[in-house]
Structure 1
Amino acid sequence: MFQAKAFAPFENLAIELVPHSSEGDDGSHDLAHVLRVFKNAMRIQALEGGDARILAAAVLLHDCVAVEKNSPIRSRASALAAEKASAILAELGWDGNDIASVAHAIVAHSFSANVAPETLEAKILQDADRLDAIGMVGAGRCFYIGGRMSSALYDPFDPAGSYRELDDKRYVIDHFQTKLFKLADGFQTKAGRALAAARDERLRDFLAAFMDEI
């Protein structure tokens, strides 16, 4: 059940935008993900500054268009979300400059889009979203997506990929090396980097324990 108070102090904004926040049945990009990113973003914004209203709107709409990880248009997902978000905010009477700020933050948050964040709000959203891809939640999401894509957990004869090319579409734990362990080095804000370092350590400990068990 949706509870607007979870998005305090932007309860009214959440009431307007949560109905548009996510689509489809992807449990790694559902309302729970949006709420986690919101909490990350507000935590960073409290230390770094920036326009909290712009940031909150960008968080609430950053995944408003669903594109599967294995889709050929995956790299356009954030641009499509930004277009949809702009139309939603225009209908709500938002100022054009504010809409553009929200749209840029949404476009730039995506790893696959490879768009550099130019505003503080865009940098915070990118950090907040990537925090949800590492640590224990990130590990859980990684395995969830692997199951969704019908991937195997690991190569039983070379799980670490020591003698083969890593393939994260075929083996879930390959994704730790091909992407997840690279994320902590790319955080944009000081507060984000500090949070990322702790989560990256947890993620590496998780994989070490997993490899020990297999």
Structure 2
Amino acid sequence: MTQEVGPLARTLSLPYYEDALPAHDRFHATRVRDLSVRLANECERPVQKDVLAAAAWLHDIGRPRERTGEIDNHDEWATAEAAALLEAEAVSSERISAITHCIRTHSIRSSSPEPESLEAKLLFDADKLDATGARGIVRLACIVGERSGKAGEKFAIIDDSSASETSSMDRPDITLLREWARERLDHLYTSPGRRLGKSRWRFMDEFFTRFESEIGVDGDR
């Protein structure tokens, strides 16, 4: 096979994102692809960038089905689906294995296996970094919206319980976004990922402090 697997994976993946909501759509896949390659360029060790790009395009193709309850685990489903798609295109079994390992291990869920290859670690980091910084704040809010739709009721209150009357409510507040971002940054595997994570966290920390000050809460508490 002479065709590069990265562009092929993009073509194969796009139909799966047609019904995706903003937090896990093709634009998220594009950002993860671009960011993972950026991190790869900063690595001292060689990286199979074509494998990495292909995995980035395919990593969330199961998200729309998981959201509607058609499947239980988008990681496992996408791993099997990607393998079948690539095999049908005569991609070598070695490359398929490398790509699907990245897909299988990209999630932060406790049930997800640990990424072992450098490409898998870079994909994991890029995916988590897309939930940090300025874009990350917007995306995390979109994820709250996705979960609210799936649950059939509000998943979280975008407020601070200490500054309002939400403290007695069962739903989490704005601190959930801070916790989600911090959790993702604490799990990053690569040095380039951690460096970028520090920069993005500084912005997020300033944002949440500003958010608290706008509703009358002492940001230094």
User: TM (normalized to structure 1)?
Assistant: 0.81
Alpha-carbon deviation of 1:159?
A: 5.6
Provide closer, same or farther for how the CA distance between residues 79 and 209 of structure 1 changes in structure 2, counting only shifts above 3 A: same
Report the equivalent of 1:92: 89
- Percent sequence identity is 31
Name the CA distance, whole Å, in 2 between partners of 1:203 and 1:86. 37
**2:157 maps to which of 137, 153, 160:** 153
Q: Which runs of 5+ in 2 are unaligned?
A: 149-153, 216-221
**1:136 maps to which of 134, 137, 156:** 134
Work out whether 1:173 is the aligned partner of 2:174. yes
Report the equivalent of 2:30: 35
Name the CA distance, whole Å, in 2 between partners of 1:52 and 1:45. 7
Provide closer, same or farther for how the CA distance between residues 47 and 185 of structure 1 changes in structure 2, counting only shifts above 3 A: same
The code of the aligned residue for 1:86 comes to: A
Alpha-carbon deviation of 1:156?
A: 5.4
Per-residue deviation, residues 112-154 of structure 1 (Å, max 9, x unmatched): 1432100010000001101101111111011122233133434
Q: Which runs of 5+ in 1 are unaligned?
A: 1-8
Native 8 Å contact 2:102 2:120 kept in 1? yes
Aligned length: 200
The code of the aligned residue for 2:190 comes to: T
Name the CA distance, whole Å, in 2 between partners of 1:159 and 1:115. 40
Native 8 Å contact 1:41 1:55 kept in 2? yes
Report the equivalent of 1:6: none
Alignment of 1:31-110 (within 5 A): 31-48=26-43, 49-66=46-63, 67=65, 76-110=73-107
Alpha-carbon deviation of 1:181?
A: 1.2
Work out whether 1:212 is the aligned partner of 2:210. no
Alpha-carbon deviation of 1:95?
A: 0.7
Report the equivalent of 1:4: none
C-alpha root-mean-square deviation of aligned residues, in Å? Answer: 2.8
